[in-house]
Amino acid sequence: MSTSPVTPGTGWPGDPATSATPVATTPDEVVRLATTAPDQAALDARVSVCRACLRLVEWREQVAATKRAAFADQPYWGRPVPSFGDPEAEVLVVGLAPAAHGANRTGRMFTGDRSGDWLYAALHRAGYANQPTSVSADDGLRLTNLRIVAPVHCAPPANQPTPTEQATCSAWLDRELALSSDRLRSVLVLGGIGWANLLRAARRIGWSVPRPQPRFGHGAEATLTTPAGRVIRLVGSYHVSQQNTFTGKLTEPMLDEVIARLR
């Protein structure tokens, strides 16, 4: 049985890190390790051991140690959750941050909670996922031509990362975009905070962003252009949070419709 949080390189399914993976403990180290990551595998590994945000490190590890009663017999990942999916993807999905008892428990984006049930069922209907469910890191789920990334990789208290935490984690997102920019076709952003973070990242790495800045909304669209002239379609969606799906603010047809625009 794994420890909670999980020690890097001890056999957790999909753990990208080893005991030799370099650990960022300051914002400057995040920038250095992100910008020097040669590929997504190295990026995922470095993200997954990051300790640069003291408040979030404490929170994610405290949640992993205390656990929710329903999961008391399970180990919790309790580390930053790396991006998940096809490293050669032409499509990105951008969320916000891991859920305390979802991805922070399972170690995989949108895995182990109702938000993931919604997202992966939709991605399965659209042909990006090989199965409609996502319950654990070893459940066999695979994504084709799509990768899920996050502006903040650690579970925050009350699902609210601070502006400073978003800024610290942004170097990982910048590198993610830079590594995918020569093949990327479209990006689906879930929620307004993710939308703002994605646009800031695009500007930082030199992509052209329309002015005035495109406003977030469900179904909103914008066109981004890389320095090499590649045109990328940005599509907004309400987040797949329980708050939105339980209340009917986001329905399955609404989600299917925006995902269909990513092709």
- The residue ranges that bind ligand SF4 (CB under 6 A) are 30, 47, 50-53, 56-57, 80, 152-154, 165, 168-169
Q: How far is the CB of 52 from ligand SF4 (least distance, A)?
A: 4
CB closer to ligand SF4, 9 vs 214: 9
Q: How far is the CB of 104 from ligand SF4 (least distance, A)?
A: 11
CB closer to ligand SF4, 123 vs 149: 149
Quote the tokens at residue 64. Answer: 């992993």
CB closer to ligand SF4, 170 vs 245: 170
What does the alpha-carbon distance between residue 79 and residue 115 come to, in Å, rounded to a whole number? Answer: 19
In eight-state DSSP terms, residue 135 is -
Cβ atoms of 150 and 98 closer than 8 Å: yes
* Spatial CA neighbour of 23 closest among 49, 43, 45: 49
CB closer to ligand SF4, 21 vs 186: 21
Q: How far is the CB of 167 from ligand SF4 (least distance, A)?
A: 9
CB closer to ligand SF4, 108 vs 153: 153
CB closer to ligand SF4, 18 vs 164: 164
Q: How far is the CB of 152 from ligand SF4 (least distance, A)?
A: 5
Within 10 angstroms of residue 252's Cβ, the number of other Cβ atoms is 12
What strands, in cross-sheet order, belong to the sheet with 186-190? 84-85, 146-149, 91-94, 186-190, 231-237, 221-225
Buried residues in 148-173 as b, exposed as e (16+ CB within 10 A): bbbbbbbbbeebebeeebbbbbbbbb
Q: How far is the CB of 124 from ligand SF4 (least distance, A)?
A: 28
CB closer to ligand SF4, 47 vs 141: 47
Q: How far is the CB of 92 from ligand SF4 (least distance, A)?
A: 17
Before 8, cis peptide (omega within 30)?
A: no
Name the one residue in this structure whose structure tokens are 């409609």: 132
Within 10 angstroms of residue 19's Cβ, the number of other Cβ atoms is 9
Q: How far is the CB of 77 from ligand SF4 (least distance, A)?
A: 12
